[in-house]
Amino acid sequence: MKNASSQNIRNCRRTAMTAVAIACLLPFAAPAAQPTYQPDTLREQHYKECLAQVQSDTPGALDNATGWVEDGGGPLARHCQALALLKMGKPGAAAKLLDDIAVELIGSRPELVPDALAQGAQAWAQTGNLTAAIKDQTDAIKERPRDPELLVDRAQFYADQKNYDEAIKDLTQALTVDPNNIDALTYRGAAYRRLNKLDLASVDLEAALKLAPNDPDALLERGILRRVRDDRQGARQDWLKLLLTAPDAPAADIARADLEALDVKVEPATPPAKP
Protein backbone atom coordinates (compact mmCIF):
# COMPACT_ATOMS: atom_id res chain seq x y z
CA MET A 1 0.00 0.00 0.00
CA LYS A 2 2.75 2.59 1.18
CA ASN A 3 6.85 3.90 2.15
CA ALA A 4 9.25 2.94 4.86
CA SER A 5 8.64 6.06 6.95
CA SER A 6 5.19 7.63 7.51
CA GLN A 7 3.70 6.07 4.38
CA ASN A 8 4.65 2.77 4.41
CA ILE A 9 6.48 1.97 1.74
CA ARG A 10 2.80 0.95 0.54
CA ASN A 11 5.39 2.37 -2.21
CA CYS A 12 7.40 0.96 -0.05
CA ARG A 13 2.62 2.96 0.17
CA ARG A 14 1.70 4.27 0.97
CA THR A 15 3.85 4.21 0.39
CA ALA A 16 2.35 3.46 3.53
CA MET A 17 4.68 4.89 4.43
CA THR A 18 7.80 7.89 9.22
CA ALA A 19 13.55 9.82 16.91
CA VAL A 20 15.00 9.81 20.00
CA ALA A 21 17.82 11.24 22.06
CA ILE A 22 18.98 8.70 24.65
CA ALA A 23 22.30 9.24 26.40
CA CYS A 24 24.81 6.51 25.65
CA LEU A 25 25.90 5.13 29.01
CA LEU A 26 29.30 3.56 28.49
CA PRO A 27 32.14 2.87 30.92
CA PHE A 28 34.83 5.52 31.16
CA ALA A 29 37.43 5.23 28.41
CA ALA A 30 40.01 7.38 26.70
CA PRO A 31 38.54 10.49 25.04
CA ALA A 32 38.87 9.04 21.54
CA ALA A 33 36.61 6.12 22.50
CA GLN A 34 33.80 8.30 23.84
CA PRO A 35 30.71 8.88 21.67
CA THR A 36 30.43 12.40 20.36
CA TYR A 37 27.94 14.53 22.30
CA GLN A 38 25.09 15.67 20.11
CA PRO A 39 22.36 18.05 21.34
CA ASP A 40 18.80 16.96 20.75
CA THR A 41 18.23 19.45 17.93
CA LEU A 42 21.30 18.18 16.08
CA ARG A 43 20.20 14.57 16.58
CA GLU A 44 16.80 15.40 15.08
CA GLN A 45 18.40 17.15 12.11
CA HIS A 46 20.84 14.28 11.59
CA TYR A 47 17.91 11.86 11.73
CA LYS A 48 15.89 13.78 9.13
CA GLU A 49 18.85 14.01 6.82
CA CYS A 50 19.57 10.30 7.23
CA LEU A 51 15.98 9.37 6.38
CA ALA A 52 16.09 11.56 3.28
CA GLN A 53 19.35 9.88 2.29
CA VAL A 54 17.67 6.46 2.57
CA GLN A 55 15.56 7.49 -0.43
CA SER A 56 18.29 9.18 -2.46
CA ASP A 57 21.42 7.15 -1.60
CA THR A 58 20.54 4.02 0.34
CA PRO A 59 24.06 2.53 0.66
CA GLY A 60 25.34 5.93 1.76
CA ALA A 61 22.54 6.17 4.32
CA LEU A 62 23.46 2.76 5.70
CA ASP A 63 27.09 3.82 6.10
CA ASN A 64 25.98 7.10 7.67
CA ALA A 65 23.62 5.38 10.11
CA THR A 66 26.12 2.66 11.03
CA GLY A 67 28.76 5.24 11.86
CA TRP A 68 26.21 7.21 13.83
CA VAL A 69 25.26 4.09 15.81
CA GLU A 70 28.90 3.55 16.70
CA ASP A 71 29.11 7.21 17.72
CA GLY A 72 26.23 6.90 20.17
CA GLY A 73 23.29 7.85 17.96
CA GLY A 74 20.92 5.54 19.82
CA PRO A 75 17.49 4.53 18.51
CA LEU A 76 17.39 7.38 15.99
CA ALA A 77 20.52 6.09 14.30
CA ARG A 78 19.36 2.47 14.45
CA HIS A 79 15.98 3.45 12.98
CA CYS A 80 17.65 4.98 9.94
CA GLN A 81 19.91 1.93 9.74
CA ALA A 82 16.92 -0.41 9.77
CA LEU A 83 15.08 1.51 7.04
CA ALA A 84 18.19 1.48 4.86
CA LEU A 85 18.49 -2.28 5.33
CA LEU A 86 14.85 -2.69 4.38
CA LYS A 87 15.24 -0.63 1.22
CA MET A 88 18.37 -2.58 0.31
CA GLY A 89 16.40 -5.82 0.32
CA LYS A 90 17.40 -7.15 3.74
CA PRO A 91 13.99 -7.34 5.44
CA GLY A 92 14.93 -10.01 7.98
CA ALA A 93 17.68 -7.91 9.55
CA ALA A 94 15.50 -4.81 9.35
CA ALA A 95 12.52 -6.52 11.00
CA LYS A 96 14.50 -7.69 14.03
CA LEU A 97 16.12 -4.29 14.44
CA LEU A 98 12.80 -2.45 14.17
CA ASP A 99 11.24 -4.70 16.82
CA ASP A 100 14.13 -3.88 19.17
CA ILE A 101 13.84 -0.17 18.43
CA ALA A 102 10.10 -0.18 19.20
CA VAL A 103 10.85 -1.56 22.68
CA GLU A 104 13.54 1.06 23.28
CA LEU A 105 11.18 3.87 22.31
CA ILE A 106 8.44 2.97 24.81
CA GLY A 107 9.88 4.94 27.69
CA SER A 108 11.38 7.85 25.79
CA ARG A 109 9.39 8.55 22.63
CA PRO A 110 6.17 6.53 22.81
CA GLU A 111 4.60 8.49 19.95
CA LEU A 112 7.11 6.85 17.60
CA VAL A 113 6.42 3.29 18.70
CA PRO A 114 3.54 2.65 16.24
CA ASP A 115 5.72 3.78 13.32
CA ALA A 116 8.55 1.42 14.22
CA LEU A 117 6.10 -1.45 14.75
CA ALA A 118 4.32 -0.83 11.45
CA GLN A 119 7.62 -0.66 9.59
CA GLY A 120 8.66 -3.88 11.32
CA ALA A 121 5.41 -5.44 10.16
CA GLN A 122 6.17 -4.48 6.57
CA ALA A 123 9.64 -5.98 6.91
CA TRP A 124 8.30 -9.24 8.35
CA ALA A 125 5.75 -9.43 5.54
CA GLN A 126 8.55 -9.15 3.01
CA THR A 127 10.22 -12.18 4.60
CA GLY A 128 6.96 -14.10 4.25
CA ASN A 129 6.37 -14.25 8.01
CA LEU A 130 2.80 -12.95 8.03
CA THR A 131 2.23 -14.10 11.61
CA ALA A 132 4.98 -11.79 12.85
CA ALA A 133 3.75 -9.03 10.55
CA ILE A 134 0.23 -9.21 11.95
CA LYS A 135 1.56 -9.25 15.52
CA ASP A 136 3.60 -6.09 14.98
CA GLN A 137 0.76 -4.40 13.14
CA THR A 138 -1.70 -5.33 15.90
CA ASP A 139 0.63 -3.83 18.50
CA ALA A 140 0.87 -0.67 16.39
CA ILE A 141 -2.92 -0.44 16.18
CA LYS A 142 -3.19 -0.79 19.96
CA GLU A 143 -1.04 2.34 20.25
CA ARG A 144 -2.90 4.22 17.51
CA PRO A 145 -6.32 2.57 17.14
CA ARG A 146 -7.91 5.18 14.89
CA ASP A 147 -5.19 5.28 12.25
CA PRO A 148 -6.85 4.05 9.02
CA GLU A 149 -3.54 3.35 7.30
CA LEU A 150 -2.50 0.92 10.02
CA LEU A 151 -5.82 -0.86 9.67
CA VAL A 152 -5.58 -1.01 5.88
CA ASP A 153 -2.10 -2.50 6.07
CA ARG A 154 -3.17 -5.19 8.54
CA ALA A 155 -6.09 -5.99 6.26
CA GLN A 156 -3.60 -6.63 3.47
CA PHE A 157 -1.68 -9.05 5.66
CA TYR A 158 -4.90 -10.88 6.50
CA ALA A 159 -5.79 -11.01 2.81
CA ASP A 160 -2.39 -12.50 2.03
CA GLN A 161 -3.40 -15.28 4.46
CA LYS A 162 -6.73 -15.53 2.60
CA ASN A 163 -8.46 -14.48 5.81
CA TYR A 164 -10.88 -12.16 4.03
CA ASP A 165 -13.36 -11.90 6.90
CA GLU A 166 -10.74 -10.36 9.18
CA ALA A 167 -9.57 -8.14 6.33
CA ILE A 168 -13.10 -6.83 5.89
CA LYS A 169 -13.38 -6.08 9.62
CA ASP A 170 -10.23 -3.95 9.51
CA LEU A 171 -11.26 -2.18 6.32
CA THR A 172 -14.71 -1.44 7.70
CA GLN A 173 -13.14 0.04 10.83
CA ALA A 174 -10.82 2.15 8.67
CA LEU A 175 -13.81 3.44 6.73
CA THR A 176 -15.60 4.50 9.91
CA VAL A 177 -12.63 6.80 10.54
CA ASP A 178 -12.08 7.84 6.91
CA PRO A 179 -15.16 7.13 4.75
CA ASN A 180 -13.37 8.34 1.62
CA ASN A 181 -10.33 6.11 1.97
CA ILE A 182 -9.91 4.81 -1.58
CA ASP A 183 -7.59 1.97 -0.63
CA ALA A 184 -9.99 0.72 2.03
CA LEU A 185 -12.92 0.82 -0.39
CA THR A 186 -10.97 -0.91 -3.14
CA TYR A 187 -9.52 -3.63 -0.95
CA ARG A 188 -12.82 -4.29 0.81
CA GLY A 189 -14.47 -4.61 -2.60
CA ALA A 190 -11.82 -7.14 -3.58
CA ALA A 191 -12.30 -9.05 -0.33
CA TYR A 192 -16.05 -9.17 -0.86
CA ARG A 193 -15.46 -10.51 -4.37
CA ARG A 194 -13.22 -13.25 -2.98
CA LEU A 195 -16.11 -14.23 -0.69
CA ASN A 196 -18.50 -14.15 -3.67
CA LYS A 197 -20.42 -11.18 -2.23
CA LEU A 198 -20.50 -9.51 -5.60
CA ASP A 199 -23.15 -6.86 -4.91
CA LEU A 200 -21.23 -5.58 -1.89
CA ALA A 201 -18.03 -5.64 -3.91
CA SER A 202 -19.66 -3.55 -6.63
CA VAL A 203 -20.88 -0.93 -4.15
CA ASP A 204 -17.39 -0.42 -2.74
CA LEU A 205 -15.64 -0.30 -6.10
CA GLU A 206 -18.12 2.15 -7.56
CA ALA A 207 -17.61 4.36 -4.50
CA ALA A 208 -13.83 4.19 -4.90
CA LEU A 209 -13.97 5.10 -8.58
CA LYS A 210 -16.40 7.93 -7.94
CA LEU A 211 -13.76 9.44 -5.65
CA ALA A 212 -10.81 8.59 -7.91
CA PRO A 213 -11.91 7.67 -11.46
CA ASN A 214 -8.38 6.75 -12.56
CA ASP A 215 -7.23 4.79 -9.51
CA PRO A 216 -5.35 1.82 -11.02
CA ASP A 217 -6.14 -0.71 -8.30
CA ALA A 218 -9.84 0.15 -8.34
CA LEU A 219 -9.97 -0.06 -12.14
CA LEU A 220 -8.19 -3.40 -12.11
CA GLU A 221 -10.49 -4.82 -9.47
CA ARG A 222 -13.71 -3.56 -11.05
CA GLY A 223 -12.56 -5.08 -14.33
CA ILE A 224 -12.03 -8.41 -12.57
CA LEU A 225 -15.46 -8.15 -10.96
CA ARG A 226 -17.06 -7.39 -14.33
CA ARG A 227 -15.28 -10.36 -15.87
CA VAL A 228 -16.58 -12.59 -13.08
CA ARG A 229 -20.07 -11.33 -13.92
CA ASP A 230 -19.43 -12.11 -17.61
CA ASP A 231 -19.40 -8.43 -18.56
CA ARG A 232 -16.48 -8.80 -20.93
CA GLN A 233 -16.91 -5.40 -22.55
CA GLY A 234 -17.04 -3.65 -19.18
CA ALA A 235 -13.93 -5.48 -18.05
CA ARG A 236 -12.12 -4.52 -21.24
CA GLN A 237 -13.04 -0.84 -20.77
CA ASP A 238 -11.69 -0.77 -17.21
CA TRP A 239 -8.42 -2.48 -18.08
CA LEU A 240 -7.83 -0.34 -21.18
CA LYS A 241 -8.46 2.80 -19.15
CA LEU A 242 -5.97 1.57 -16.57
CA LEU A 243 -3.33 1.02 -19.25
CA LEU A 244 -4.01 4.48 -20.68
CA THR A 245 -3.93 6.40 -17.40
CA ALA A 246 -1.36 4.41 -15.38
CA PRO A 247 0.71 2.26 -17.74
CA ASP A 248 3.58 1.87 -15.27
CA ALA A 249 1.50 0.96 -12.21
CA PRO A 250 1.89 -2.58 -10.84
CA ALA A 251 -1.80 -3.14 -11.59
CA ALA A 252 -1.12 -2.47 -15.28
CA ASP A 253 0.87 -5.69 -15.68
CA ILE A 254 -2.07 -7.71 -14.40
CA ALA A 255 -4.47 -5.77 -16.63
CA ARG A 256 -2.35 -6.55 -19.71
CA ALA A 257 -2.36 -10.26 -18.89
CA ASP A 258 -6.11 -10.21 -18.25
CA LEU A 259 -6.77 -8.43 -21.55
CA GLU A 260 -4.74 -11.04 -23.41
CA ALA A 261 -6.70 -13.79 -21.66
CA LEU A 262 -9.94 -12.03 -22.56
CA ASP A 263 -8.97 -11.86 -26.23
CA VAL A 264 -8.34 -15.60 -26.41
CA LYS A 265 -11.45 -16.32 -24.33
CA VAL A 266 -9.76 -18.01 -21.39
CA GLU A 267 -9.89 -17.26 -17.70
CA PRO A 268 -8.09 -14.03 -16.75
CA ALA A 269 -4.78 -13.97 -14.91
CA THR A 270 -4.73 -14.54 -11.17
CA PRO A 271 -5.60 -11.26 -9.45
CA PRO A 272 -3.27 -9.79 -6.82
CA ALA A 273 -3.04 -11.57 -3.48
CA LYS A 274 -4.07 -8.49 -1.48
CA PRO A 275 -7.72 -7.53 -1.48
Where exactly are the structural domains of the chain?
Answer: 1-132, 146-275
Amino acid letter for position 182? I
From first to last of its 275 residues, the chain has per-residue pLDDT tens of 443 443 343 443 333 322 222 222 222 233 333 444 445 788 889 999 999 999 999 999 999 999 999 998 889 899 999 999 999 999 999 999 999 999 998 887 888 899 999 999 999 999 999 999 999 999 999 999 999 999 999 999 999 999 999 999 999 999 999 999 999 999 999 999 999 999 999 999 999 999 999 999 999 999 999 999 999 999 999 999 999 999 999 999 999 999 999 887 645 555 554 55
Instruction: Specify the pLDDT at position 270.
Output: 53
Do domains 1-132 and 146-275 share one topology? The answer is yes
List Cα–Cα distances, 237 to 224, 234, 243, 255, in angstroms: 11, 5, 10, 11
CATH 3.40.50.300 describes domain 146-275:
no
Which pLDDT score is estimated for 8? 41
| Torsion (CA) 63, 25, 6, 148 in degrees, nearest 10 | 150
Give the span between the Cα atoms of 207 and 213, in whole angstroms: 10
Q: What topology does CATH give the domain 1-132?
A: 1.25.40
pLDDT of the residue at 4: 40
pLDDT of residue 36: 45
